[in-house]
Amino acid sequence: MIKTFPGGVQPACLKNETIDKLIKNAPVPREVIIPLLQHTGAPCEPMVSAGSRVRTGQVIARSDKFISSPIHASISGTVKKIDRYPHPVIGSFNAVFIEGDGADTKETSIKKTDNVNLLSEDEIRDIVRECGIVGLGGAAFPTHVKLALPEGKAIDSFILNGSECEPYLTCDHRLMLENPAGIIEGMAMMLRLTGASRAYIAIESNKIGAAFALEKILRDKRYNTLNAKIVILKTKYPQGAERSLIKSILNREVPPRGLPLDVGCVVSNVGTAFAVYEAVFNGKPLYERVVTVTGSCVAEPSNLRVRIGTPVKDLVDALGGLKKDVYKIIFGGPMMGLAQLSLDTPVIKGTSGILFLSKEDVAEYAETNCIRCGRCVDVCPLNMVPADIMRFVKKEQYERAIEYNVEDCIECGCCSYECPSKIPLFQWIKLGKTEVLNLRSAK
């Protein structure tokens, strides 16, 4: 039976351009610019300075805070400078500029493992941390933190998220088709670290091929003990959001401001599981990731394995340039992604897709009065009333906005998507969230 959650929207999927494209390595860039903040948590301090020689995979920045993740050089060469540079999420941030030597010499300090069973749980967690693994679905939460359950917390279910519900994106889908064994190995390790007794692999109904690929691996007797099950979910956005996934599969609701842990689960993306596998088995740090580069302006839409810190313009060149005028460049998917100011913006660990959209792709509409149709209420996966919250925020009635749970918003954008009056509801709600946060910290 196909499972799902109440609410959500069904935008056109637009994945056809890249759905059959094998993952290719993007050319190793001549220069990379690696921001010192690429994850949720504390920013890193640089360990190198202008003139330092670095190898691919060498740690170039870290932080001693627990919720943080080290950052690695993605090419070998010389550090030119550390300076402010455009950042895809926070506008601009300090970044390490590395000029490549063309050799791509690899750092080999992290050992390969022949038998993971000989590693203790703490050893695995350390490798995951040292390799800079973060959630690759977008939020980039440090994975070693997620795999270290707080004292007194236990979970029963692990959810591997292969739903990839954003239109256009196919990087997770391709990874499941091309590396199912690695994904399952990575998941097995994450299960071991979290102590979950069951695993659910969540896949949307439009990726049955991926489900078969993973199922084939799971049939191996070695994996019987994982107690893993593939769950087919309705193709609906935001099916892959943590709260929606848990609601769909386990019918549990993560409490407001709570974490999946609070309802006994941990959720992780398939790309992250594969990165964990590569880190533990191959000693490979997270210095590259798979990115779907697509949109009607790209000559050759592709799934590329891209070095972290590669500026967007290099990818454009690698894909044969642009075939029409770009109106918007989006990092991420069209529903939650962020529009970029510049072609210099570098790929970071959380970049799942880069969309080059023309004016026709992003149909824009004039905003009209709210007609109280309730469509925004019907689609909000968090049971909010976006039309009313929007009115409270416009009138600066933040207390009322709090009463209407403005802080619960998971920023999926379904309300704006569905509104026939084309009111940027999510933008208002986001503003309301920020104002409420300011109010709370002023108290």
Partner 1 sequence: MNKDLTVSSSPHMLNKLTVPGVMWGVAISLVPVVISSVIFFNILAIRLMLTCVLSCVISEAAIQKLRGKKIAIKDGSAVVTGLLLAMVLPPALPVWTAVIGSIVAIGLGKQLFGGLGYNIFNPALLGRAFLMAAFPTLLTKWTSPFTLDAVTQATPLGLMKFSQIKTPYMDLFLGNTAGSLGETAALAILIGGGYLFIKRYAGWRIPLSFIVTASILGGALHAVNPSVFPNAAFHLLSGGLLLGAIFMATDPVTSPVTKKGRWIFGIGCGILVIVIRSWSGLPEGVMYSILLMNGITPLVNRYTKPRRFGAKR
Question: Which residues contribute to the site for partner 1 (CB under 8 A)?
Answer: 9, 11-12, 167, 243, 253-256, 258, 322, 325-330, 334-343, 355, 357, 362-363, 365, 368-374, 376-378, 381-385, 387-388, 404-405, 408, 411, 413, 416-422, 424, 426-427, 430
Sequence-distant (≥ 6) Cβ neighbours of residue 345 within 8 angstroms: 86, 87, 88, 311, 312, 329, 331
Q: How far is the CB of 422 from ligand SF4 (least distance, A)?
A: 8
Between residue 314 and residue 373, which ones bind ligand SF4 under the rule CB under 6 A? 370-373
CA pair distance 393, 435, nearest whole angstrom: 9
CA pair distance 198, 116, nearest whole angstrom: 20
Terminal C-alpha separation, the chain:
49
Of ligand SF4, partner 1, none, which one does residue 158 interact with (CB within 5 to 8 Å by kind)? none
Of partner 1, ligand SF4, none, which one does residue 78 interact with (CB within 5 to 8 Å by kind)? none
CA pair distance 28, 91, nearest whole angstrom: 25
Using the rule CB under 6 A, give the single segment among 96-104, 172-180, 309-317, 417-425 that binds ligand SF4: 417-425
Of partner 1, ligand SF4, none, which one does residue 264 interact with (CB within 5 to 8 Å by kind)? none
CA pair distance 310, 74, nearest whole angstrom: 9
CA pair distance 207, 186, nearest whole angstrom: 20
CB distance 242 to 212 below 8 Å: no
- Residue at token pair 């350390």: 126
Any contact of residue 425 with ligand SF4 (CB under 6 A)?
A: yes
Using the rule CB under 6 A, give the single segment among 85-93, 119-127, 149-157, 404-412 that binds ligand SF4: 404-412
Instruction: Identify which of residues 171 and 286 has a Cβ nearer to partner 1 in the complex.
Output: 171
Ramachandran sector of residue 14 (left: φ over 0; alpha: ψ -120 to 50; beta: rest): left
Instruction: Identify which of residues 86 and 381 has a Cβ nearer to ligand SF4 in the complex.
Output: 381
Q: Which two tokens stand for residue 5?
A: 């959650």
Q: What single DSSP character describes residue 28?
A: P
Of ligand SF4, partner 1, none, which one does residue 436 interact with (CB within 5 to 8 Å by kind)? none
Helix, strand, or coil here: 203? strand
Pattern 381-400, binding to ligand SF4, x per CB under 6 A? xx-x-xx-------------
CA pair distance 246, 411, nearest whole angstrom: 17
Which positions touch ligand SF4 (CB under 6 A)? 370-376, 379-382, 384, 386-387, 409-415, 418-421, 423, 425-426, 429
